[in-house]
Amino acid sequence: AVVLLAAFVFVESRSVDPLVPLRLFRNRGLSASALALALNGGAFLGMFFLCALYLQQVHHDTALQAGAQFVPMGIAAIVSATVGAQLVTRFGTKVGYLTGAAIGTVGLLLIAQAGAHATYVSDLLPGFIVFGLGLPLVGVSNQIAAVADVEPSDVGAASGLITTAFQIGGALGLAIISTAATTRATDVLATGASQAVSLSEGFQRGLYVAAGLAVLNLLVAVSTPT
């Protein structure tokens, strides 16, 4: 993937009419927003993947039951997206970004506390709701900030760029988080622990890595211009 990305950048840098004008990255707001959405995507997809496996392999829920348990997160995200637009309009994109990154970090840390004998209502649901509240705030704020200082002729390219950043960040974040989780689960299983305990340990390690991405996003939010 890294080689292909490098090859793409090389080709684009030499193209007369590039698909992605590399000069866009000189726009600090766009670059910061792309990074923010990449980190947000990595934390979100990694969390979603691990939680789905946890619910099915540790709690022994069906795929349908596991999916239904994410519904409160989706509802929280819808509410947050509605309120977030008003928050950004009144206080600016940086406030929305900071708020969303901080809330998302708390949500991931709450989810990471779930162990082998955790219950959905008391151990997972609060973290799901909190994370759902933070996710759209980061997205809405950075989607606005990304195109705020871009020339009208480049808005389409800028929009596509940040969407791609979210997807690439999600793929890379998922790879990193799932690797950390799998490694930890394998190591614990080798010590003679039960499968449920091993999977839970891996789940927690992966969620802490996802929380690390959220913390990094929070630091990026602090450093971004108003």
- Sign of the torsion formed by the C-alpha atoms of 199, 50, 52 and 116: positive
d(CA 122, CA 83): 26
Residue whose entry in the numeric block shows the structure tokens 């950004």: 88
AA identity, residue 201: E
- pTM > 0.85: yes
Which phi and psi angles does 61 have, rounded to 5°? -80, 155
pLDDT for 141-192, tens place per residue?
A: 998 888 888 888 888 888 888 998 999 999 999 999 999 999 999 999 999 9
d(CA 175, CA 87): 33
Query: Shortest CA distance to 34 belongs to which of 156, 145, 150?
Result: 145
pLDDT for 19-49, tens place per residue?
A: 777 788 888 888 999 999 999 999 999 999 9
pLDDT for 203-212, tens place per residue?
A: 999 999 999 9
On the CB side of 64, CA atoms within 13 Å amount to 0
